[in-house]
Chain A
């Protein structure tokens, strides 16, 4: 490891092998190699799996011959070194632990660097967390005696950790060496709290309470760091899996609010500044129950280079209808905008009482009409009248009316991606909390 930048200032960095210590197993007589005498407290015999107290002059056996029917194989071999978080770590111990009640198990790798001390890698269903034991104690929102209580939130260094799981954990299998006297079957009360990708864990036994912080680390990073041929792909969503969708939703939500605020302001400004100029107010004659073709309005001017045009038709219909078909014609270019409108208004009385239907007025908007001189060609038709008198209809051409259609459409377009993002975030959080004892996403009926 010479020339490694993370090793602190040491005069003439040694390149020799670690000063290991070898002794015979007091149980089976096999040779035991202790990698870090002076740091490790207990070591597991590779032959017979007995756990030896190396601090004891006579190498006392702590747990004898527990041989498991199906031993666990560590994904990272003992003795392997890897660079994580800018430091070199050597795997010196491996444990399998399980929840006493559910028999759910996971594995833990003890990492060592003689300068920086100990760390843990915890592997659960292919998900990895890098764990550091801490001396600080978090603040709890609850004044409770136990650990891992519903609704519990812990605060530490500005992070808020929500209670995720709690239970009783036991050691099922160990190999390697450890800085305490490891005992098979020893149990602790544990509780995990998460603020993804970070976690806070508590282990409590009769004599002490140990707090640790953890951070999610991708299996690819583990593979690269320890130069492994393969590591299993993670299954499901881990408690501390980086909340990508949540972070993305946070940003999307901000943008969403920003865009909506922008188009709202723009809409208010556009509505306030729209000219609403009556360019033509035409009164025409039509024949009740008849047709009247080829009426032409006087030429009128549409101001502005480009704007919308609203045409409003009003006819004194009463249990009758009035139909107008026309075209807005540019006097200069001859460009035409054909349109049709009907106004119809009916009323009467039936078993439910009086009713009315329709209106004597109808409007349409033509978008983006260039400015210039225009006139209208109009044909009218009507029906439902009892008589055949002539009557008067009114047609109004207004330049630049405030419109809200765009506003609602754009608000809708701008909401599609944020809603997708929000629902992705909900799904991610629901699947994260699916493994929790304190799942807030589970409905009360389940």
Chain B
């Protein structure tokens, strides 16, 4: 783990994953960009007014009998709603994402996709060839905006960051997400799981429950 200090308030800022290049100071909410051992402040993250989720930074869970920990979050909104993408790290170099939307949980890991179709040409129902991972069908195409970010993340998740999020389904519980952002296109593959499958620990307390 790498510990740097916040250029704004001096508090410790931890980087558990080497792939994280962005962090939000847990004290002063400054958004920080990391370049090697340097942290630059690029702005502040405004607090979320209404935020109802069972997860938080530090929540742990199990996936394939391996323990992971939530180290960052990106909350995105689109015209009909919002969802959370929780950045998780296993003890080693591996990272994955836990997507949370209306009670549905998908666990997915990065996949180096090649020859993806152009974002402008995509249509719902279209088949996308993810090579050895199989053929996936597009369910949803949404233009999303970053509403909130916290912890550490592998890209600059400043508020207002725009991207196009494409949800796809394969066989059984399999799913894939392709995120077309301004600078990069990233693909994730995973599947839907039940809440209890993860054996979560250190969840966020929810008032009244």
B192 lies within 8 A of A135 (CB)? yes
| Most chain B beta carbons < 10 A, residue from A16, A117, A118 | A117
A114 lies within 8 A of B54 (CB)? yes
CA–CA, A41 and B83, complex, Å: 12
A9 lies within 8 A of B195 (CB)? no
B-facing mask of A90-117, CB < 8 A → 1, else 0? 0000000000000000000000011111
B209 lies within 8 A of A38 (CB)? no
Nearest to B100 among chain A residues (CB) is A117
* Candidates B77, B82, B102, B200; contact of A8 at CB < 8 Å: B200
Within 8 A of A (CB), among B131-157: 139-140
* Candidates A10, A19, A41, A208; contact of B204 at CB < 8 Å: A10
**Closest CB-CB distance, B148 to chain A, in whole Å?**
11
* Candidates B80, B103, B203, B204; contact of A181 at CB < 8 Å: B80
Q: Which residues of chain B come closer than 8 Å to A117, judged between CB atoms?
A: 102-104, 195
B-facing mask of A133-155, CB < 8 A → 1, else 0? 10111000000000000000000
Q: Does A225 have its Cβ within 8 Å of any Cβ on chain B?
A: no
**Closest CB-CB distance, A206 to chain B, in whole Å?**
10
CA–CA, A17 and B209, complex, Å: 8
Contacts A1-B208, A17-B207 given; does A180 touch B81 at CB 8 Å: yes
A136 lies within 8 A of B52 (CB)? no
Contacts A18-B208, A117-B103 given; does A8 touch B202 at CB 8 Å: no
Q: Does B160 have its Cβ within 8 Å of any Cβ on chain A?
A: no
**Which of B17-25, B38-46, B113-121, B169-177 makes up part of the contact surface?**
B169-177
Nearest to A137 among chain B residues (CB) is B169
Q: Which residues of chain A come closer than 8 Å to B54, judged between CB atoms?
A: 8, 10, 114-115
* Candidates B139, B192, B196; contact of A208 at CB < 8 Å: B139
Q: Which residues of chain A come closer than 8 Å to B203, judged between CB atoms?
A: 8-11, 115
A118 lies within 8 A of B103 (CB)? yes
Q: Does A36 have its Cβ within 8 Å of any Cβ on chain B?
A: yes
B205 lies within 8 A of A14 (CB)? yes
Contacts A117-B103, A135-B192, A208-B140 given; does A12 touch B50 at CB 8 Å: no
Q: Which residues of chain A come closer than 8 Å to B104, judged between CB atoms?
A: 117, 133, 135
Q: Does B53 have its Cβ within 8 Å of any Cβ on chain A?
A: yes
Nearest to A86 among chain B residues (CB) is B196
Q: Which residues of chain A come closer than 8 Å to B192, judged between CB atoms?
A: 135-136
* Candidates A11, A17, A115; contact of B208 at CB < 8 Å: A17
B172 lies within 8 A of A180 (CB)? no
Please count how many residues in chain A sit with their CB below 8 Å of the partner chain's CB atoms.
Answer: 36
CA–CA, A133 and B103, complex, Å: 10
**Closest CB-CB distance, B114 to chain A, in whole Å?**
26
Nearest to B202 among chain A residues (CB) is A11
A-B contact count (CB 8 A): 94
User: Interface of chain B, helix or strand or loop or mixed?
Assistant: loop
Q: Does B51 have its Cβ within 8 Å of any Cβ on chain A?
A: yes
Q: Which residues of chain A come closer than 8 Å to B201, judged between CB atoms?
A: 9
Q: Does B2 have its Cβ within 8 Å of any Cβ on chain A?
A: no
Q: Which residues of chain A come closer than 8 Å to B182, judged between CB atoms?
A: none
CA–CA, A136 and B169, complex, Å: 8
Nearest to A21 among chain B residues (CB) is B50
CA–CA, A133 and B50, complex, Å: 24
Please count how many residues in chain B sit with their CB below 8 Å of the partner chain's CB atoms.
Answer: 35
CA–CA, A13 and B205, complex, Å: 6
CA–CA, A38 and B50, complex, Å: 4
Contacts A36-B52, A55-B81, A137-B169 given; does A115 touch B207 at CB 8 Å: no
Q: Which residues of chain A come closer than 8 Å to B51, judged between CB atoms?
A: 38
Q: Does A253 have its Cβ within 8 Å of any Cβ on chain B?
A: no
A9 lies within 8 A of B102 (CB)? no
* Candidates B48, B49, B205; contact of A11 at CB < 8 Å: B205
B173 lies within 8 A of A135 (CB)? yes
Within 8 A of A (CB), among B166-205: 169, 172-173, 175, 192, 195-196, 200-205
CA–CA, A85 and B199, complex, Å: 18
* Candidates B52, B81, B139, B204; contact of A37 at CB < 8 Å: B52
Nearest to A16 among chain B residues (CB) is B207
Nearest to B105 among chain A residues (CB) is A117
CA–CA, A345 and B196, complex, Å: 86
B-facing mask of A34-75, CB < 8 A → 1, else 0? 001111010000000000000100000000000000000000
Q: Does B206 have its Cβ within 8 Å of any Cβ on chain A?
A: yes
Q: Does A179 have its Cβ within 8 Å of any Cβ on chain B?
A: yes
B80 lies within 8 A of A180 (CB)? yes
A1 lies within 8 A of B173 (CB)? no
A115 lies within 8 A of B202 (CB)? no
Q: Which residues of chain B come closer than 8 Å to A179, judged between CB atoms?
A: 81, 102
* Candidates A1, A11, A180, A207; contact of B209 at CB < 8 Å: A1
B205 lies within 8 A of A12 (CB)? yes
Q: Which residues of chain B come closer than 8 Å to A55, judged between CB atoms?
A: 77, 81-82
A16 lies within 8 A of B52 (CB)? no
Q: Which residues of chain A come closer than 8 Å to B102, judged between CB atoms?
A: 117-118, 179
Q: Does A430 have its Cβ within 8 Å of any Cβ on chain B?
A: no
CA–CA, A115 and B80, complex, Å: 21
* Candidates A11, A14, A118, A181; contact of B207 at CB < 8 Å: A14
What would 7 more interface pairs be, CB under 8 Å, given A8-B196, A14-B206?
A8-B195, A11-B205, A14-B207, A19-B208, A41-B80, A114-B52, A114-B53
Task: Pick 17 A–B contacts, CB within 8 A, sort by A.
Answer: A9-B200, A9-B202, A10-B54, A11-B205, A17-B208, A18-B206, A18-B208, A19-B207, A36-B52, A38-B48, A114-B52, A117-B103, A117-B104, A117-B195, A133-B104, A135-B104, A181-B80
Give 3 closest A-B pairs by Cβ, nearest first: A117-B103, A18-B208, A38-B52
